[in-house]
A = this chain, B = another copy of it.
């Protein structure tokens, strides 16, 4: 039978990363393609202990239905945490717990955008969010991402000419580039969005994973009326498998997100929410984060060193101060086809998986000669060996 799918999903493809990850299921493949937290950074033992407590003490809370807004004690803890960072104002803000930040970003688009309305995103940007926006058939519009954040002149041009509902940004250690937006650009972008009446969706999954440089305040701290939607997650600091994220925004926006979450999945898994809550109560989050940052600092500097040692000298790459990713740009003149050829050969012939930049472009016709490398999932040995292999291939294809 031939099925006629809705226009909004008929063009939607499964993430290109998934295709790469198929190769990665081969245990011989060294994967720099994932986006998972470092295995050694997961507090598995603490979570196991907490889980025992939850199921012994409050099984009926864990196993019965909960409210859509989220487990009240966790919501309160998240509000406290965000307030301490200037990201929650009880006068107009509210918080809802979501099934990961993915749901936070998807529902933000759903409540604000009609089909055909414009969402602006950094170009390149996180494929999961881009596909979520595409699934509502919006007009997705990219703004060039520079080392210190988007080109704000370009942003203003778009705000002037289009009906922009949402500006989607990952200001800290962006996925895929690892770039961080400067404070000046945060302020400028906020002012432009206020001026033209666009809502900012500030996605901050990696902000806690800064191991170098100085913290830069969230755009949400500039917000005095709830027009910035801030989304966060426990995926990178506790566990992605538990699927717990959150959104903080104006009460009116949260009210609509609640209604949409109710029809999406009723509520987030109770056990997961209780786990996150008890972790925050029982352990010192800052101490925990210090430990994580050490792991990530080590892995980043290891990979950066190996890239420097092995890769063709014509390849440029970002030097992130946090997060999970390094963005490598192949030499000038390399075409999109040659870049994907490099990625294909790497995984097919040499069993090293990386993600081609095309996965993160806004339009399918956008050209890119960049690739994304992840340093959190592989072991030290895999980082060394994988970089050696990629280095050899890069020199073969692009010269010393």
Interface residues of A (CB under 8 A from B): 1, 3-9, 12-15, 34-37, 39, 42, 44, 47-48, 51-52, 55-56, 59-66, 99-100, 102-103, 106, 110-115, 117, 128, 131-132, 135, 165, 199, 225-227, 239-243, 250, 252-253, 255-256, 258-260, 262-272
A243 touches which of B4, B37, B103, B268 (Cβ 8 Å): B268
Whole-angstrom distance between the Cβ of A1 and the nearest chain B Cβ: 4
Query: Shortest 10 CB-CB distances between A and B: which pairs?
Result: A241-B270, A132-B263, A63-B239, A99-B265, A269-B269, A44-B59, A48-B55, A1-B225, A63-B241, A65-B240
Query: When the two chains form the complex, which single residue of B6, B15, B37, B100 contacts A110, counting CB atoms closer than 8 Å?
Result: B6
A44 and B60 in contact, given A241-B270, A259-B131, A269-B243 (Cβ under 8 angstroms): yes
Select the residue from A226, A240, A250 with max chain B CB neighbours within 10 A: A240
The reply to whether B269 and A64 form a contact with Cβ atoms under 8 Å apart is no
Report the minimum CB–CB distance from A103 to chain B (whole Å).
5
Q: Within the complex, which residue of B63, B110, B265, B268 is in contact with A9, where a contact is CB–CB below 8 Å? A: B110
Q: Find out whether the CB atom of A263 lies under 8 angstroms from the CB atom of B106.
A: yes
What is the oligomeric copy number? 2
The residue on B at minimum CB distance from A268 is B243
Cβ contact within 8 Å between A243 and B266: yes
Q: Using CB atoms, name the residue of chain B closest to A131.
A: B263
Q: Is the CB of A12 within 8 A of B227?
A: no
Known: A5-B111, A8-B114, A42-B60. Contact between A135 and B263, CB under 8 A?
A: yes
In the bound assembly, the distance between CA atoms of A256 and B135 in angstroms comes to 11
A362 to chain B, nearest CB (A): 16
> Is A14 a contact partner of B259 (Cβ separation < 8 A)?
yes
User: Measured between C-beta atoms, what is the minimum distance from A395 to chain B in Å?
Assistant: 33
Which residues of B sit under 8 angstroms from A242, Cβ to Cβ?
Answer: 63, 269-271
CA distance A145 to B264 in the complex (A): 26
Contact between chains at B39 and A240 (CB < 8 Å): no
A327 to chain B, nearest CB (A): 21
CB-CB under 8 A from A55, the residues of chain B are 44, 47-48, 51
Residue A239 contacts which of B3, B9, B64, B227 (CB distance < 8 angstroms)?
A: B64
Determine how close the nearest CB of chain B comes to the CB of A380; give it in whole angstroms. Answer: 18
Other A-B contacts than A8-B114, A242-B269, 6 sampled, CB-CB below 8 A, are A1-B250, A42-B63, A63-B241, A99-B265, A102-B266, A135-B263
The one of B110, B115, B271 that contacts A241, using a Cβ cutoff of 8 Å: B271
Docked Cα-Cα span, A44 to B63, in Å, equals 7
- Chain B hits for A272, CB < 8 A: 269, 271
Residues A128 and B240 in contact in the complex (CB < 8 Å), given A44-B63, A111-B6: no
Q: Report chain B residues within 8 Å CB of A66.
A: 241
